[in-house]
C-alpha cells in the first residue's frame, strides 16, 4: 500500500509550487530594491525646480525622494520645504530647513536622520548624490529612499474619475474650475488677491522679483486650497501628468485675470518700439527665399507656400493666445508644423531625413 504522502507526483507538484513561490518572492524582492534614477525624470525634483525655484536656489542641500516612494503623493508646500536645507551654523553634520527653521536633520553619509521639528523620527538612506550649479552657487542634491515627512497613499489608483484638460485655454480652464462647488472658496479668494494686485501693481524695470513672487503665491495658494477641498481633482493629481496639467491650468487662469493689467496696460506700451523693430526685420526677411541661405538641397528649394499652415498658426499668438502658456503652446505647434512641412518636402523630393528635424534644434 502506497501512502499518499509518498506519492511521487504529489511531491513533484509541491516542489514545483515551492519553486514558483520562491521565484515570485525573489522577483518581488528585486522589484522592491530601489535603483538610482535620473534626477530630471523625478517628479518631486521637477516640481521643486519649477514651482519652488526660489526655495531651491536658496538651499545648499536638497533631498529628493525616489519616484517609487512617492507614487500618488499630493505635494504640499510643507512637504517640499521639509526636504530643502542649509548647513547648520551651530552643529557640524547637521542641516537646518531653509524655510522651516525649527526642522533639523543629521547627515552621516549615507544616512540622514530627522533630529527635531518633524512629526516623527525617521532614518532614510542616500541612494545617489550629485551637484547642481546655479551661477556661482553650488547645491548638493541627494536621492533618498523615502520621504523625510509625509506619506504616499498605500492604495494608489491609476485611473481617476475625472481627467484634467491637457490643452490650455483660459476660458475653458476657468469653466472647468467653476464646475465644482468645492472650488468656490479658492476662486473667491483668488478674485480678491487679483483685485489687490491690480490696484497696487507698478512696473519698475529691474525690480520684478517681488511681482513674480506675488503671482507665484496666488497660483500656489489657489492650487493648495482646491486640492484640500476637491477630492476628485485631488485623485486626478496623484498621476504626474494630471498634476502637471492642473498646475498649468491654475497658472493659466491666474495669468488670464492679470493679462490686461500686466500686458495690455503695462508691458505692451513699453515694448512697442521693440515690437515694431522685430516686425520690420520679419517683413524684410519675408522677401528672402531659402536658396539664398546656406541650406542643402532640397530644403533650399522649398517655397513659402509650404509654410502657409505654420504662418497661419503663428498668427494665433496675437488673436487667440493671451497667457504665457497659451503663447508657448502656439509657438510649439508652429515649430511642429514647420518640421512637418520640411519632412514632407524632403520625402516629396525622394530623400529621407537624416539627423534631427528642424524642431529638434529649438527647445521649448
Q: What is the pLDDT of residues 311-346, one digit of tens each?
A: 999 999 988 999 999 999 999 999 999 999 998 888
pLDDT over 60 (residue 356) = no
- The distance of Cα 180 from the centroid of its chain, to the nearest Å, equals 24
Average the pLDDT over each of 135-139, 316-320, 324-328, 359-363 and give the range with the smallest value: 359-363
**CA–CA gap between residue 42 and residue 83 (Å, rounded):** 14
CA–CA dist 1, 6 (Å, integer): 10
Is it the case that residue 9 has pLDDT exceeding 90?
Answer: no
Segment 148-163 mean pLDDT: 76
Cβ burial of 158 (10 Å; 0-12, 13-18, 19+) is: exposed
Is the model's pLDDT at 351 over the cut of 80? no
Which of 29-38, 53-62, 149-158, 207-216 shows the lowest mean pLDDT across its residues? 29-38
Pick the range with the lowest mean pLDDT from 32-46, 222-236, 303-317. 32-46
Mean pLDDT of 274-281: 92
% of the chain at pLDDT higher than 70 = 85
* Across 66-88, average pLDDT: 89
End-to-end Cα, the chain, rounded Å: 80
Q: 36: buried, middle or exposed (CB in 10 Å: 19+, 13-18, 0-12)?
A: exposed
What is the residue-averaged pLDDT of the chain? Answer: 85
Residue 5 has pLDDT above 60, yes or no: no
Question: Does position 7 have pLDDT exceeding 50, yes or no?
Answer: no
pLDDT of residue 33 exceeding 50, the answer is yes
pTM tops 0.75? no
Cis peptide bond N-terminal to 169, omega within 30? no
More confident residue, 84 or 90: 84
Q: Residue 331 in contact with residue 359, Cβ under 8 Å?
A: no
- Cβ burial of 152 (10 Å; 0-12, 13-18, 19+) is middle
Residue 14: phi and psi, rounded to 5, are -65, -40
- Percent of residues, the chain, with pLDDT higher than 90: 54
Rounded distance between C-alpha atoms, residue 40 and residue 179, angstroms? 34
174 has pLDDT over 90: yes
244: helix, strand or coil? helix
Q: Which cell goes with 1?
A: 500500500
Amino acid at each position: 500500500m502506497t501512502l499518499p504522502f509518498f506519492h511521487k507526483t504529489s511531491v513533484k507538484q509541491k516542489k514545483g509550487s515551492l519553486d514558483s513561490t520562491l521565484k515570485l518572492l525573489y522577483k518581488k524582492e528585486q522589484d522592491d530594491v530601489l535603483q538610482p534614477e535620473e534626477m530630471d525624470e523625478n517628479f518631486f525634483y521637477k516640481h521643486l525646480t519649477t514651482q519652488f525655484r526660489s526655495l531651491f536656489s536658496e538651499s545648499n542641500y536638497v533631498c529628493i525622494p525616489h519616484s517609487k516612494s512617492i507614487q500618488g503623493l499630493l505635494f504640499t508646500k510643507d512637504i517640499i520645504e521639509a526636504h530643502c536645507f542649509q548647513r547648520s551654523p551651530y552643529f557640524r553634520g547637521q542641516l537646518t530647513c531653509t524655510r522651516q527653521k525649527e526642522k533639523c536633520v543629521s547627515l552621516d553619509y549615507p544616512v540622514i536622520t530627522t533630529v527635531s521639528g518633524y512629526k516623527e523620527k525617521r532614518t532614510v538612506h542616500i541612494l545617489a548624490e550629485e551637484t547642481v550649479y546655479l551661477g556661482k552657487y553650488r547645491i548638493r542634491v541627494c536621492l533618498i529612499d523615502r520621504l523625510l515627512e509625509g506619506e504616499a497613499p498605500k492604495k494608489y489608483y491609476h485611473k481617476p474619475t475625472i481627467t484634467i484638460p491637457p490643452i490650455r485655454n483660459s476660458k475653458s480652464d476657468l469653466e472647468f474650475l467653476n464646475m465644482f462647488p468645492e472650488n468656490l472658496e479658492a476662486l473667491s479668494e483668488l478674485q480678491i488677491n487679483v483685485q489687490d494686485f491690480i490696484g497696487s501693481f507698478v512696473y519698475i524695470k529691474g525690480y520684478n522679483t517681488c511681482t513674480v513672487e506675488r503671482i507665484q503665491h496666488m497660483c500656489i495658494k489657489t492650487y493648495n486650497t482646491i486640492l484640500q477641498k476637491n477630492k476628485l481633482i485631488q485623485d486626478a493629481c496623484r498621476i504626474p501628468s494630471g498634476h502637471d496639467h492642473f498646475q498649468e491650468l491654475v497658472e493659466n487662469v491666474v495669468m488670464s485675470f492679470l493679462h490686461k493689467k500686466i500686458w495690455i496696460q503695462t508691458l505692451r506700451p513699453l515694448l512697442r518700439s521693440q515690437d515694431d523693430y522685430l516686425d520690420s526685420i520679419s517683413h524684410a526677411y519675408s522677401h528672402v527665399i531659402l536658396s539664398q541661405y546656406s541650406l542643402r538641397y532640397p530644403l533650399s528649394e522649398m517655397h513659402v507656400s509650404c509654410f502657409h499652415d505654420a504662418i497661419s498658426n503663428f498668427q494665433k499668438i496675437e488673436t487667440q493666445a493671451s497667457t504665457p502658456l497659451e503663447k508657448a503652446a502656439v509657438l510649439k505647434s508652429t515649430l511642429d508644423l514647420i518640421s512637418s512641412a520640411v519632412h514632407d518636402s524632403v520625402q516629396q523630393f525622394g530623400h529621407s531625413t537624416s539627423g534631427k528635424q528642424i524642431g529638434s534644434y529649438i527647445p521649448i
